[in-house]
Chains A and B, each alone.
Chain A
Amino acid sequence: MVDNSAFGLALVGCGMFGRQHANAAAAVPTANLISVVDLDQGRASALARLTGAAVATLETVLADDEIEAVILATPTDTHVTLAQAAIAAGKHVLVEKPVALEVAAFDSLMQASAEAGVVLAAGQSLRFEPTVHALWSSVRGGVLGQPVLFNWVSNSSRPWPTGWRSWQADPTRSGGMPFHLAIHGLDLAIWLMDEPPARVYAQGQDIAARGTGVHDYSHIAVRFESGANALIEYHAGLPGRSSRHQEFRLYGTGGQAGWRLPDDGLLLDADGGRPFTSEAEVSLRRQLAHFIALCRGDEPPLVTPEQVRQALACAAAANQALATGRAVELHEMLEGA
């Protein structure tokens, strides 16, 4: 029996993605966004006015029995500490991607959540994107045979909002391109291939944030245990205010599938206003509904902890490859769960 009663939520982090999570919560019937938290009171108040939620502090949220789960949409370097606090308070946690910057930190969070009997879920939201989900259904349905190569390309403009104040441009905070952006493509590849990654190679260019180790452009080549491959390309520095080019191709032993924006969709927003349009909101909405069902034991996790670990290990290996120019074997990073 599916529980359709309201599920009390708090949102920590009211930046760009926090607002998208709040929009998603407003559209999910089972979700009840009770509180919003941000270090910036003005930002929290603005979102509270829009959503009807109350402005709160982390302490009051964690002490509030009405709140069953916390959505963390804060800068990546704060995820582990905040998630630990939420788990310790007995709250379920949906953590925006990437959950952590190290596999070991993710492992300790998983252990803590298991001991506390709460759900820790990773916001690897592209899995909920309708076209991507259709691709996955085709692969699982056997239409394309055994997947052999997955190519994911996501190129966009406006990479560094807030300029040098951007936490994304600080690799100690964001983990750089592999953790911050490419984690999405890595997650999709791992999900579609449904087997452990074995080797990672990456190349990149740090054009704007020169010398920081944060790459405007990078690509990551992943070889899986069966020999299947993924090629993940991210370029955050397309010219223009809202240029966007996204595509995937999947080659399988029984066929191939592909999709490309702007040709095959309407995501490109020509006035530069909102480069992430409805698809992101649809994904976050579906993700939140799934998360609530997960917390209530109504659905198994679509994103398994082992797959989250594998994506994090690939991102860490990609950073190592970017630094050394060498391919990295993954077995050591994936041991020790």
Chain B
Amino acid sequence: MANSLGLLLISCVRHQGTYAPLFDARDDVEIVAVADEPDIPGWMHAVNVEFAERYGVPYVRDVGDALARPDVDIVCICSEPTRHARLAVQAAEAGKHICVDKPMATTVADADRVVAAVEQAGVTLTYIHRLYSPSIQRLREAIDDGAIGLPFALHLSWVSAGGLTSGSVEDFQLVVDTSLSGGGELMNFLGYHVDTARYLTGLEVETAYTSAGNYFFEPHREHCVEDFGLVCLTLEHDVSATIIAGRSPTQTHVTGGDYGLRVHGSQGTLMSDETRPFLTLFAGPDERRSQPVNPVVQAMLEPVITEFLACVESGDQPLRTVYDGRSQIATLEAVYRSMASGQVERV
């Protein structure tokens, strides 16, 4: 394994349980350590210790010390979102290539610091995204093929069903406590929509209008953060995008959520639904269960990791770069301003 890349897992509190196994499954990557900052809460240390034990590697309670290890080439950052940028800057300054959970940063100021550090160090950074979803890739191919002419309006739904107990949230404080999350469910999810709109059209977001609130969940209400909402964007050339985003409490949802896309173009319309086709199981007297036929998460995430590693080797730019991460958060800031003002806000 002389040519394998040494991977440092920086914090494991959010989604590392999904990403670390994808790295670990590869022959060209070796997880060499887990690291985090020394003064984080005890429960975060406990999570990190668990991951270190799982992979049989040391847990280093100082990120600088861990980054100084000669066997570390790349890092995967899965802290709570508000620490993403600080940890990414530290990794870049140590000359390490970075895969960071979404969102890359929770403020534009933080994103700018990451951009500067990555430019200065000349390292590769990508963040977790859904653009390798087969449906998004096929929509992009059809648009590039000219099948619908010039896109002029998009609709993007991305609503996670199953509430806070669906297994995707390690601790609900991570999505409602703004000192950890940086915002509510729009901060958590809206980056996906923004990425998709920019990726399919090749256009930048110019304005945002938002009507959102805490409709469903007590933890969101207590922390005064949104759990669900409606966003209208304009992109360059007056292209518009409507978005339904957030988390719904529906436990019995047919496919675990709504993941639909519609692109209207001058010569036609494209529609996709990531959850179709799905298999319906009549599994008991009162139980009807459905599951998507395509393993969407694997199909989306594996290419992100594969591409990141290839770009580390080649020096090429990944599909999503530090600049895309900055665009995402710039749009999110306008979305939050609009939520407060009730009016259209410029990005």
Which residues of A are at the interface with B, using a C-beta cutoff of 8 A?
146, 148-149, 151, 153, 155, 199, 201, 203-205, 207, 217, 219, 221, 223, 227-229, 231, 233, 235, 238-239, 243, 245, 249, 251, 253, 255-256, 258, 325-327, 329
Contact = CB atoms under 8 A, between A and B. Distances in A.
Interface stretch (B105-113, B190-198, B244-252): B244-252
Contacts, number: 96
A148 B249 CA distance: 12
B240 to A, nearest CB: 4
B271 interface: yes
- Taking chain A's interface residues, is the majority helix, strand, or loop, or is none over half, making it mixed? strand
B232 A223 contact: no
Nearest to B228: A148
B52 to A, nearest CB: 41
Nearest to A247: B260
B199 interface: no
Given A203-B234, A233-B155, A329-B342, 20 more contacts: A148-B216, A148-B228, A149-B230, A151-B244, A153-B155, A155-B264, A201-B232, A203-B232, A207-B266, A217-B152, A221-B209, A221-B230, A227-B211, A228-B215, A239-B268, A239-B269, A245-B269, A245-B271, A251-B250, A325-B234
Nearest to A198: B342
A326 to B, nearest CB: 6
Contact of A205 (B155, B238, B244, B262): B238
Q: Name which of B153, B159, B215, B244 has the most chain A CB atoms within 10 A of its CB.
A: B215
Interface residues of B, number: 37
B256 interface: no
B344 A327 contact: yes
B153 A253 contact: no
> Ordered nearest first, which 5 A-B pairs have the shortest CB separation?
A203-B240, A227-B213, A223-B211, A148-B215, A229-B230
B211 A253 contact: no
B36 interface: no
Given A149-B230, A227-B215, A255 B252 contact: yes
B258 interface: yes
A151 B268 CA distance: 22
Contacts of A249: 157, 244, 258
Contacts of A326: 343-344
A97 to B, nearest CB: 23
A231 B271 contact: no
Nearest to A217: B153
Nearest to B251: A255
Contacts of A255: 250, 252
Nearest to B252: A255
A262 B152 CA distance: 23
Nearest to A326: B344
A95 B179 CA distance: 56
Nearest to A199: B342
B154 to A, nearest CB: 10
B242 interface: yes
16 contacts: A153-B262, A201-B344, A207-B152, A217-B152, A219-B232, A221-B209, A221-B230, A233-B155, A233-B242, A235-B153, A239-B268, A251-B228, A251-B250, A253-B249, A258-B258, A329-B342
Contacts of B155: 153, 219, 233
Contacts of A203: 153, 232, 234, 240, 242
A325 B344 contact: yes
A204 B153 CA distance: 8
Interface of B: 152-153, 155, 157, 159, 161, 207, 209, 211, 213, 215-216, 228-230, 232, 234, 238, 240, 242, 244, 248-250, 252-253, 258, 262, 264, 266-269, 271, 342-344
Contacts of A329: 342
A221 B211 contact: yes
Contacts of A149: 228, 230, 244
Contacts of B242: 203, 219, 221, 231, 233
A146 B262 CA distance: 27
B194 to A, nearest CB: 17
Contacts of A153: 155, 262
Contacts of B211: 199, 201, 221, 223, 227, 229
Contacts of B248: 251, 256
Nearest to B230: A229
